Amino acid sequence: MIKKYIVFTLFAASILIQVPGALADDDSLTAKKRALCEEGNSSACFRMGERYRIVERDKKTALKFYIRACEGDYMTACTNGGVLLMLKGTPYSKEFKQARKMFNKACDAGEDPSCFNMGSLNFKEGRQKKSLQYFLKACDMGNQMGCAKHKRLSR
């Protein structure tokens, strides 16, 4: 029993010793990505947005990075930023208007989740005919949820 306790304690101590080094590396990587984003690297901006959304759980900061990446034509950032705005806003709000712009840009570039989200956004605003067009467009791009929504709303 004592032997197991000693082994566990040594194992836990070894992890604690390694953690600060790992965090320091992470900080330098984050600083490099931030610098690349500031230089206009849309991929770095997207990665920073992902970090803040997933790891830091800071949607406000994530959105800033997604918007910057979207402006640099990183279409997945347009989709992710639009989703954050749509979840934050209400129909006809400024957030919905900004989400519409981001989704539209990505949808026009062939990003099927953005076409689906445009359908959802239009549906929430009571524009069923317009939402059907976007669900069909998403479906035509291979988005199965778009196909299901289009079929269900066409009845």
- Chain position carrying tokens 């600083």: 31
Comparison of pLDDT for 26 and 151, the residue scoring more: 151
Read off the tokens for 99: 């989400």
Comparison of pLDDT for 7 and 30, the residue scoring more: 30
Predicted confidence at residue 29, as pLDDT, reads 85
Residues 125-155 have pLDDT tens digits of 999 999 999 999 999 999 999 999 999 999 8
Read off the tokens for 11: 């194992």
Dmax (CA) for the chain in angstroms is 71
Residue 41: strand, helix, or coil: coil
Predicted confidence at residue 1, as pLDDT, reads 55
Read off the tokens for 136: 């069909």
Residues 33-71 have pLDDT tens digits of 999 999 999 999 999 999 999 999 999 999 999 999 999
What is the C-alpha to C-alpha distance for residues 76 and 48, in angstroms, rounded to an integer?
Answer: 13
For 5, 25, 28, 99, 105, the CA distances from 17, given in Å and listed in that order, are 18, 14, 19, 44, 47
Q: May I ask the CATH architecture of the domain 39-153?
A: Alpha Horseshoe (1.25)
Helix axes 75-88, 42-50, angle to 10 degrees: 40
The amino acid sitting at 56 is E
Mean pLDDT of 86-111: 97
Does the pLDDT of residue 4 top 60, yes or no?
A: no
Domain segments of the chain as ranges: 39-153
Count of beta carbons in the 10 Å neighbourhood of residue 102: 27
The answer to whether residues 49 and 74 touch, using CB atoms and an 8 Å cutoff, is no
**Average pLDDT value for the chain:** 87
